[in-house]
Chain A
Amino acid sequence: MPLVEMKRITKRFSGVVANSNVDFSVEYGEVHALLGENGAGKSTLMNILYGLYHPDSGEIYIDGVKRVFRSPSDAILSGVGMVHQHFMLVETQTVWENMILGMKMPFVLPKKQIIKKIAELSEKYNLKVNPLSNVWQLSIGEQQRAAVLQMLYRNAKVLILDEPTAVLTPQESKELFVTIRNMTALGHSVIFISHKMNEVMNETDRVTVLRKGETAGTVNTKSPDTSQELLSEMMMGRKVSFDINKPKRDLGKVVFDVNSICASNDRGGAALKNISFRIRKSEIFGVAGVAGNGQLELCEAIYGLRVAVSGYVKINEKDLTNASARALMDCGVHYIPADRRSTGMVTALDVKSNSILTDYWIPPISSGNSINWKEAGNQAKSIIEQFNVSTPSVNTAVKNLSGGNLQKLMLGRELSNSPEVLIVMHPTWGLDVSATRYIRERIISASETGTAVLLISEDIEELLALSDRLAIIFKGEFMGIIADPKSMPIEKIGLMMAGTHISEVL
């Protein structure tokens, strides 16, 4: 009898089928991966198991007993816990206060007992967190450990981890997998949602693949027939090649010159310390680093959204330090932000309105004080056509587009202005394999036509595949710039991401 069994789960959202007759089961003490493209229904299935959604039909059995979850607290009572990608922690509170969130407690909180229990759990599962620290002071890895502890504190038997390694360094990921093994050895089961094939292959026992809301199959990862190719075929229903073709290009003169930029973060601390680099025409310059090490501040400081307190930014030798975003755009610098839904797009407005967001003040879109909506419609149509955006019409609200189509639309919008410099952050974050591939190809082809690209990403594979040179950022400082990233062993890049300078690595 499996620990968790979900039978014939069906869930529709106003006509769209997210899960259709999905069967899913998890054995005692196993690590079970859930794999699938974006929109395949992984999150829906797990949110059903965690009680956030209610299935239209189908049954859930825990320990062989049929359960109906009306809310996550029902699920936790049955031993199902989930750690979301964005942890459900109250940042301004301490770790021990977060442990008891939403739990029934006496009027005076038994702080000593809580801390004692945290210490016991930390010891047992090897999850080191100081219970007295405020959550906002913790590193991302520590926050994740706190979130896992939060579930264990509630006696979770099965733990759902939603893309847990997306925010971690390679070293931190390794520690996480040790913890996961500890937990399974103590009888827990772990469900592991991931996009990363190598993790799925190396760190899990079984994998269930979802495709378009249906179960494509469950396989043992350790069986000799299972390979990354097989899994991606199951995900997409066809074979795809992973390597991306990057032709050799002649690099031109320096287009983008950033020198000794310093900037503060929102709390007033130093976010960037003397960042310097130059990007030549047609060059792709990558910046690697764990989330929150100054990548966002770097983009903002360059793009006039954050004050650079020292240093300069030059485009084609023109000084644009602390110039407005609009001045930069007018000089051919375009920026694709990481949070496409909250910064790069106005999701409540339609495709047409969004496709003119970064050139609505330039003729022919702008005519006098008015906007030429006919021209805007044509522009939207040409982006849709050239960049394979799938949308019912140019009048569809952008919030109804999938992540991949949204990203294609945004990329198309910025590239159709044939920019001198393209700043692009996490371009394929959360996209499925085919959209990812498409976006990467378009970035390469933009560089072929002469655009200097600043590529900021957390995906090492992506950075290695695209970058001509690669800088590693740690706590707002470059740990070094690697001239030939492909020849650098990935462990050494990992060390640099954890704060070792390039001179000590080589």
Chain B
Amino acid sequence: MLRVEKRIDASKWMNYVIPIASLFMALIGGAALLGTQGISPLDAYCRIIKAAFGGSYEFSETIVKATPIAISSFAVMLCFSMLIWNIGVEGQAFMGALAAVAAVRYCHSDNQFYMLCTAAAFAIMAGGLWAMIAGFLRSKWNVNEIISTLMLNYIAIRILEYFVYGPWRDPSSLGFPITTRFPPSARLPQLFGSRVHVGIILAVFLAFAAWYILSKTRLGYEIRVIGENPKAARYSGMSYMKNVLVVMFISGAIGGLTGMTEVTGLHGRLQASFAAKYGYTAIIVAWLSHLQPFVILLASVLFGALLVGGEALQIELGLTLSTVEILQGLVLFFVLGGDFFRNYRLKFTWRTDK
């Protein structure tokens, strides 16, 4: 007979074995899914790996996709560490992108460094303040931030669409909802002669910054205490309101930078659907990484690879986008499910009663 028992202490190696085993299980689940589509799973997985890691161009495309995922994952991670469920990184990225375009339009400069710093500052303020709305509602009136950040996403999307379809539309775009191409001074430098842009450096920097803030600073200590035990935080006199506002601002600012780096680094203009739901993918990545900054970098590359590989499957095998999304969903499902085994174990015993 099978029994579920609570583990008294989860051993260290479980932290590594379980995610990998979960990933493996997800691949098996995905194989079943692919099988129903009449596709050989092994062939499909080989194609994913080849498309994502098969050469320097392929790998650079994976990194291009991984960059915004990683940056926005740090935004998610900071909030989640404090048990603030910021689902709104997507909207904060939209506001950041919009602000970056505003900077290019209204504070134009031919000095690239100056121009990019202005755009980044605009994006930080826009994303940060946008997130602080939910933070304020949460700390002042205890409004559930899951709902408010999610709703703010829809508002942000509509605001962005208003500008892209309306006043900021490129007159020569033949009706496409895109803005005018940015001048060269407003483009983030690209690296290695590929589409990989400076955003990847920001992502790596953020990993170190997040690690440093959480483990070394007073703010990080407060975030961890509030995240683990809000009652103890109140008892020790930590201000919940102040911390929620600060963390939401930082998180939103990072979200804003996701948008800014995407439009200035990759697209060179703003289009309505520039973000490809990175803000939501980031939630999966942050959770999958157990909020560990350096694991987030790895997981982002993995998800970048899934995206690039997924595109290859769509083109080469004619799979639908939704099938690819189901594959991603399976990864999350199994990883979260696998978490159960960190805290519980199954025990097989013989029936002793007749």
Contact = CB atoms under 8 A, between A and B. Distances in A.
Contacts of A219: none
Interface stretch (A342-350, A377-385, A426-434): A342-350
A373 B224 CA distance: 15
A329 B7 CA distance: 38
25 contacts: A14-B7, A54-B349, A67-B353, A70-B3, A304-B237, A324-B237, A325-B235, A326-B237, A329-B237, A342-B231, A342-B232, A346-B224, A346-B225, A346-B232, A347-B228, A348-B228, A353-B221, A357-B235, A360-B221, A361-B218, A369-B218, A370-B217, A370-B218, A371-B217, A373-B216
Interface in A216-238: none
Given A68-B352, A324-B237, A342-B231, A357 B225 contact: yes
A371 B231 contact: no
B236 interface: yes
B110 interface: no
B219 A348 contact: no
A358 interface: yes
Interface in A307-328: 324-327
Most buried by A among B9, B221, B234: B221
A373 B3 CA distance: 42
Interface string B203-227: 0000000000000111101001100
B229 interface: yes
User: In which size bucket is the chain A interface?
Assistant: 35 or more
Contacts of A16: 8
A14 B8 CA distance: 7
Interface residues of B, number: 22
Contacts of A335: 235
Contacts of A68: 352-353
B218 A371 contact: yes
Interface of B: 3, 7-9, 216-219, 221, 224-225, 228-229, 231-232, 234-237, 349, 352-353
A349 B353 contact: no
A170 interface: no
A107 interface: no
Contacts of A360: 218, 221, 236
Given A325-B235, A357-B236, A371-B221, A346 B353 contact: no
A325 B236 contact: yes
Interface in A329-374: 329, 335, 337, 342-349, 353, 356-358, 360-361, 366, 369-371, 373
Nearest to A340: B232
A345 B7 CA distance: 22
Contacts of A325: 234-237
Contact of A358 (B234, B236, B349): B236
A337 B237 CA distance: 14
A68 B351 CA distance: 9
Contacts of A93: none
A13 interface: yes
A68 B349 CA distance: 13
Contacts of B221: 353, 356, 360, 371
Contacts of B225: 346, 349, 353, 357
Nearest to B353: A68
Contacts of B3: 54, 70
A400 interface: yes
A248 interface: no
Leading 3 A-B pairs by shortest Cβ distance: A326-B237, A325-B237, A68-B353
Contacts of B235: 305, 325, 335, 337, 343-344, 357
A111 interface: no
A68 B237 CA distance: 50
Given A370-B216, A371-B217, 19 more contacts: A14-B9, A54-B3, A54-B349, A66-B353, A68-B352, A324-B237, A343-B229, A343-B232, A345-B229, A346-B229, A347-B229, A349-B224, A353-B225, A357-B225, A357-B236, A360-B236, A369-B217, A369-B218, A370-B217
A348 B218 contact: no
Contacts of A346: 224-225, 228-229, 232
Nearest to A305: B234
Contact of A366 (B8, B218, B229, B237): B218
Contacts of A70: 3
Contacts of B217: 369-371
